[in-house]
């Protein structure tokens, strides 16, 4: 950036934007009275929880609002031109050339049947008329710029052959190949591993600096805000709560909501004492391992070790956190222990007094996605009583128990007759916990149980898990990719990397003196450390 | 890829072998003795026995099967009991009308169904979509022979646009050929067309909600290409699958339509053969139809791998 005064020219200016909701919505406008601008060379973060209207705002700028929304009111000035008055053809010509956009899910945002090169090339074909060789050269150069290795070869790769981080780089290359003045990034790192997230954030910042473009960055993660933002817009329920420089917002927030958002971000401080838990032994896992055999067309075999031999012990009242990134084997470990898949070798033994009880009554699981782990066609009551009834509890008894559990997880027992879609994500996860507890298990396995939730809701669900653990003296195996969450609830941590247990110890020990190189990298990648320091 | 192809081709062999055994047994074990039929009502038992020996029907079943299989493998489908002509010749004589009918039907059905289904899927909920789906219910629930006679009544008898029945060979000119094949192809193809259109609509509609559609729009791709290049291209696998499954529909339809429109094709051949218990002809035709079905679905399996790079066997 050479010309400092230019930095103040707004590229996009949103004035009093309102996006009306169709009749019957929970409020009149999905977005209401939103005004902010993004200037050349700055990164503006719009931060808020789900339902805050942050993504709707971004889609309104792109002219890509889902059809259910009526035409927005107000004005969106892109370099002086009101986009809300632009024709569809004009909007199309701006998308990809004047404004680039990247999305949350790099897994699904790319078309699986076309090569990644062709998908970047598509931007050139949509906006310019260039000979094929020149387009190829430009695509390769764009791929190089975003740090994709061996671009001339990778041009012909298909999305499924790339890692999540590489896919996101492909999307960035496509969004930026025509040097747009504005980049809209809608939660671009949320689906990525924390170490990958760090690299992608770095990449976006580098490109933004070198090109002087404006970036509108949408995120729910205050940590990411601290990493990347120049200015921040905080949104809640479709309205702006406050706006200001990143330093001001993080250090001296004015609105209660902003303070709550910041406070809800779990810190890396271990919440539990470092000493061992003295409950009776609940689970003993000995050298459990899982290998998959891949048969090639000619009958050759290749073995892939998803989980190398791993041992652990878990006591009543204790929470063990299993942390690691995608492909680390943490979910495989959980599935082997819960007997959802058959381990190739080794075994998990339940110990303690309930030896005559069936396995599924002793160990229960809470899954990651509360939107999909409850059967949408059964009432939550039916889902909760199904398990106990399978094991011979009478319907009346099971129903009575379900009412108690609903109250226990903080929901109205009368809501048992409702269907899952009538609940929010946090409420559904409470229901999932109630469903697991209905079996009166000794061991609870939580597989990324709070990962899909907003931070404020996440904090509440973590507290609930903590409460039920004390109440029922549960042994908990807590699988997560989020070290900050693990710090809140775990006694001990196991760090998994490429199918191997690389480090274990108390939360305090692992965080303050990580012994394995990978653990150090993991800790170093946590967003927001720059601001916290 | 080559390994996959070879493997898929090899897999055809056991399938066809099972078909051969079933075809052979089905007819041998079904009631009715062809020797009796040939000999006529007043034949004496000795004459019947002589015919049996001549046809090899006195041999044990296994021997009969081996003899039959050896002939099949050398391309000899046997000789018709009645016309005394080789079955291969009989089929070849009748191949043109049936092949023409099947091809014309597929071209019509696929050519109409995919564009219509795609438009309906991309504009789901529009009047066009709704009327298409309404028509499709009618098209699918109307039996081919009813539809056939209705078509003949309207287009041949009332409007005089097409001949009432019969088939004109392509060797007599393309237009007269098309003229004679249009009504039967339309009749046979309607249900097939509707089936493909519905699957196309459903698959395209599903794809239109995918994230990569949003990405394509964000890149500034024109809507027409968003629909074809992204949505339809990803919907290709279910569409192709239904085209393959629909071939069975087509084969059974050919038999009916050839009777309704009096087309001298393989369908008619097999109907006549069944009525006369002409075993070699029935076997030959069933084997041929099975082979066609298996080969088309083999081609479709291979097509998957070309359409979707994630499909690797």
Per-residue pLDDT tens listing for chain A (533 residues): 444 444 468 999 999 999 988 776 667 888 999 999 999 999 999 998 888 889 899 999 999 988 888 889 999 999 989 999 999 999 999 999 999 999 888 888 999 999 999 999 999 999 999 999 999 999 999 999 998 989 999 999 999 888 888 999 999 999 999 999 999 999 898 878 888 888 899 989 999 999 889 999 999 888 899 989 999 999 998 899 999 999 999 999 999 999 988 888 877 777 888 778 888 888 999 999 999 887 655 556 778 888 999 999 999 999 999 998 888 889 899 999 999 999 999 988 888 776 778 888 899 999 887 778 888 889 999 999 999 999 888 999 999 999 999 998 888 898 899 888 888 888 888 999 999 999 989 999 999 888 878 888 888 889 999 999 999 999 999 999 888 889 889 999 999 998 999 999 999 889 888 999 999 988 888 887 644 43
Mutation site for A-interface testing, chosen from B219, B239, B304, B306 by largest number of A Cβ within 10 Å: B219
Distance from CA of B200 to the nearest CA of A (A): 17
Which of A93, A171, A298 is nearest residue B3 as measured by Cβ atoms? A298
Domains of chain B: 2-73 (no CATH), 98-264 (1.10.3720.10)
Q: From first to last of its 313 residues, what are the pLDDT tens digits of chain B?
A: 677 778 888 888 888 889 888 888 877 777 667 677 667 767 788 888 887 787 777 788 888 888 888 888 887 877 887 788 888 889 998 888 898 899 999 999 999 999 999 999 999 888 888 988 888 888 888 888 888 888 888 888 888 787 877 788 888 888 888 888 888 998 889 888 999 999 999 999 999 999 999 999 999 999 999 999 999 999 998 999 999 888 888 888 888 889 888 888 898 899 888 888 787 888 888 888 888 888 888 888 888 888 888 876 5
Mutation site for B-interface testing, chosen from A297, A298, A302 by largest number of B Cβ within 10 Å: A297
Mutation site for A-interface testing, chosen from B220, B225, B229 by largest number of A Cβ within 10 Å: B220
- Cβ(A245)–Cβ(A232) under 8 Å? yes
Distance from CA of A447 to the nearest CA of B (A): 26
**Cα distance between residue B166 and residue B159, in whole Å:** 17
Q: What is the pLDDT, as a whole number, of residue A5?
A: 44
A-B C-beta contacts closer than 8 Å:
80
Closest by CA to A189, choosing from A150, A217, A154, is A217
Helices (H), ranges, A356-475: 359-362, 380-390, 395-408, 425-437, 455-472
- Cβ(A218)–Cβ(A32) under 8 Å? no
Whole-angstrom distance between the N-terminal and C-terminal Cα of chain A? Answer: 27
Tell me if chain A has a CB within 8 Å of the CB of B307.
yes
Rg of chain B taking only CA atoms, in angstroms: 24
Q: Which residues contact B123 (CB under 8 A, 6 or more apart)?
A: B129
Q: Which residues of A touch B4 (CB under 8 A)?
A: 297
**Cα distance between residue B87 and residue B281, in whole Å:** 6
**Cα distance between residue A71 and residue A68, in whole Å:** 10
What is the DSSP annotation of A25-77? Answer: SSSSEEEEEEEEEEETT-EEEEE--TTSSHHHHHHHHHT---TTS---EEEEE
**Cα distance between residue A145 and residue A122, in whole Å:** 18
**Cα distance between residue A63 and residue A91, in whole Å:** 7
Strand order from edge to edge, sheet including A81-82: A29-39, A10-20, A73-78, A81-82
Distance from CA of A114 to the nearest CA of B (A): 8
How many residues in chain A? 533
Q: How far is CA A377 from CA A492, B41, B286, in A?
A: 39, 66, 45
Q: What is the pLDDT, as a whole number, of residue B213?
A: 94
Q: How many CB atoms lie within 10 A of CB B302?
A: 16
Closest by CA to B276, choosing from B22, B69, B36, B28, is B36
Minimum Cα–Cα distance from A110: chain B residue? B212
**Cα distance between residue A350 and residue A336, in whole Å:** 13
- Cβ(A489)–Cβ(A319) under 8 Å? yes
Report chain A residues touching chain B, CB-CB < 8 A: 62, 64, 92-97, 100-101, 103, 105, 108-114, 122-123, 126-127, 158, 160, 171, 174-175, 297-298
Tell me if chain A has a CB within 8 Å of the CB of B212.
yes
**Cα distance between residue B233 and residue B307, in whole Å:** 8
- Residue A76 pairs in a beta bridge with A14
Distance from CA of B241 to the nearest CA of A (A): 17
Q: Which residues contact A50 (CB under 8 A, 6 or more apart)?
A: A220, A425, A454
**Cα distance between residue A142 and residue A151, in whole Å:** 9
Which of A96, A100, A108 is nearest residue B210 as measured by Cβ atoms? A108
- Cβ(A417)–Cβ(A424) under 8 Å? no
Domain A5-264: CATH architecture, name and number where available: 3-Layer(aba) Sandwich (3.40)
**Cα distance between residue A35 and residue A18, in whole Å:** 10
Tell me if chain A has a CB within 8 Å of the CB of B211.
yes
Across the interface, do B211 and A108 touch by the CB < 8 Å criterion? Answer: yes
What is the DSSP annotation of A181-223? Answer: SEEEEESTTTTS-HHHHHHHHHHHHHHHHHHT-EEEEEES-HH
Across the interface, do B214 and A95 touch by the CB < 8 Å criterion? Answer: no
Tell me if chain A has a CB within 8 Å of the CB of B84.
no
- Cβ(A206)–Cβ(A509) under 8 Å? no
Closest by CA to A527, choosing from A222, A204, A223, is A223
Whole-angstrom distance between the N-terminal and C-terminal Cα of chain B? Answer: 8
Q: Which residues of A touch B234 (CB under 8 A)?
A: 111-113
- Residue A489 pairs in a beta bridge with none
Query: Phi/psi zone of residue B166: left (φ > 0), alpha (ψ -120 to 50 degrees), beta?
Result: left
Residue range(s) occupied by CATH 3.40.50.300 in chain A: 5-264, 281-286+313-532
Q: Which residues of B touch A109 (CB under 8 A)?
A: 211-212, 214-215
When the candidates are 3.30.230.30, 3.40.50.880, 3.40.50.300, 3.40.630.10, the CATH number that belongs to A281-286+313-532 is: 3.40.50.300
Q: Which two tokens stand for residue A72?
A: 């927005």
Question: Strand pairing of A492-497 and A500-506?
Answer: antiparallel
- Residue A244 pairs in a beta bridge with A232
Which of B211, B222, B308 is nearest residue A105 as measured by Cβ atoms? B211
């Amino acid at each position: 950036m050479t010309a400092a005064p230019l930095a103040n020219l707004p590229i996009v200016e949103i004035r009093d934007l309102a996006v009306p909701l169709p009749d019957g919505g929970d409020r009149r406008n999905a977005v209401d009275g939103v005004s902010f601008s993004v200037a050349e060379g700055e990164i503006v973060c719009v931060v808020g929880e789900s339902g805050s209207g942050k993504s709707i705002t971004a889609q309104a700028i792109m002219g890509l609002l889902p059809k259910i929304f009526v035409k927005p009111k107000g004005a969106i000035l892109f370099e002086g031109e009101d986009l809300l008055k632009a024709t569809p053809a004009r909007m199309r010509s701006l998308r990809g050339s004047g404004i680039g956009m990247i999305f949350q899910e790099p897994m699904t945002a790319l078309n699986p049947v076309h090569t990644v090169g062709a998908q970047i090339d598509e931007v050139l074909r949509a906006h310019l008329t260039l000979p094929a060789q020149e387009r190829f050269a430009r695509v390769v150069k764009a791929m190089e710029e975003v740090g994709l290795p061996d671009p001339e070869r990778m041009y012909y790769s298909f999305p499924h052959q790339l890692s999540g981080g590489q896919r996101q780089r492909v999307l960035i290359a496509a969004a930026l190949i025509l040097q747009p003045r504005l980049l809209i990034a809608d939660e671009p790192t949320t689906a990525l591993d924390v170490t990958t997230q760090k690299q992608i954030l770095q990449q976006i910042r580098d490109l933004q600096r070198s090109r002087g473009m404006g970036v509108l960055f949408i995120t729910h993660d205050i940590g990411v805000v601290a990493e990347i933002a120049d200015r921040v817009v905080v949104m809640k329920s479709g309205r702006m709560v406050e706006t200001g420089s990143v330093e001001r917002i993080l250090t001296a927030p004015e609105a209660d909501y902003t303070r709550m958002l910041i406070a809800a971000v779990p810190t890396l401080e271990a919440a539990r004492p470092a000493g061992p838990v003295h409950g009776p032994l609940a689970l003993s896992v000995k050298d459990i391992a899982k290998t998959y055999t891949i048969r090639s067309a000619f009958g050759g075999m290749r073995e892939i070790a998803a989980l190398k031999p791993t041992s652990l012990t878990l006591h009543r009242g204790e929470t063990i956190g299993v942390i690691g990134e995608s492909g680390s084997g943490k979910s495989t470990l959980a599935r082997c222990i819960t007997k959802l898949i058959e381990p190739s070798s080794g075994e998990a033994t339940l110990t303690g007094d309930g030896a005559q009880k069936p396995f599924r009554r002793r160990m229960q699981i809470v899954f990651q996605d509360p939107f999909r782990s409850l059967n949408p066609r059964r009432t939550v009551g039916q889902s909760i009583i199904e398990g106990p009834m399978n094991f011979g509890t009478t319907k009346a008894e099971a129903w009575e128990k379900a009412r108690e559990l609903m109250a226990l997880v903080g929901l109205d027992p009368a809501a048992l007759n409702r269907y899952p879609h009538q609940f929010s994500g946090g409420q559904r996860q409470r229901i999932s916990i109630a469903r697991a507890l209905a079996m009166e298990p000794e061991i609870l396995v939580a597989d990324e149980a709070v990962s899909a939730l907003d931070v404020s809701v996440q904090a509440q669900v973590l507290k609930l898990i903590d409460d039920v653990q004390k109440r029922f003296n549960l042994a908990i195996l807590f699988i997560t990719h989020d070290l900050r969450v693990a710090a809140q609830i775990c006694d001990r941590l196991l760090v998994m990397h490429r199918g191997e247990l690389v480090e274990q110890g108390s939360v305090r020990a692992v965080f303050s003196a990580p012994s394995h190189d990978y653990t150090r990298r993991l800790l170093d990648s946590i967003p927001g450390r720059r601001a916290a320091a | 890829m080559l390994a996959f192809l070879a493997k898929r081709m090899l897999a055809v062999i056991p399938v066809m072998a099972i078909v051969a055994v079933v075809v052979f047994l089905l007819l041998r074990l079904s009631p009715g003795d062809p020797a009796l039929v040939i000999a006529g009502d007043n034949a004496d038992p000795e004459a019947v026995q002589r015919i049996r020996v001549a046809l090899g029907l006195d041999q044990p079943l296994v021997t009969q099967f081996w003899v039959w299989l050896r002939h099949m493998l050398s391309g000899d489908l046997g000789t018709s009991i009645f016309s005394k002509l080789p079955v291969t010749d009989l089929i070849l004589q009748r191949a043109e009308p049936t092949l023409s009918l099947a091809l014309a039907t597929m071209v019509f059905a696929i050519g109409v169904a995919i564009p219509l289904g795609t438009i309906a899927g991309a504009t789901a909920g529009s009047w066009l979509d709704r009327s298409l789906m309404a028509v499709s219910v009618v098209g699918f629930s109307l039996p081919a022979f009813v539809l056939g006679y209705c078509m003949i009544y309207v287009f041949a008898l009332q409007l005089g646009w097409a001949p009432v029945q019969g088939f004109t060979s392509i060797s007599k000119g393309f237009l007269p050929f098309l003229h004679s094949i249009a009504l039967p192809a339309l009749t046979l193809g309607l249900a097939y067309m509707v089936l493909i259109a519905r699957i196309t609509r459903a698959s395209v509609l599903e794809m239109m909600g995918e994230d990569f559609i949003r990405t394509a729009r964000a890149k500034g791709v024109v809507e027409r290409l968003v629909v074809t290049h992204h949505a339809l291209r990803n919907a290709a696998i279910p569409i192709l699958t239904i085209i393959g499954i629909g071939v069975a529909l087509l084969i059974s339809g050919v038999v009916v339509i050839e009777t309704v429109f009096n087309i001298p094709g393989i369908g008619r051949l097999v109907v006549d053969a069944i009525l006369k218990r002409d075993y070699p002809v029935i076997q030959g035709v069933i084997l041929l139809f099975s082979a066609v079905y298996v080969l088309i679905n083999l081609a479709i399996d291979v097509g998957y791998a070309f359409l979707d790079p994630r499909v690797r066997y």
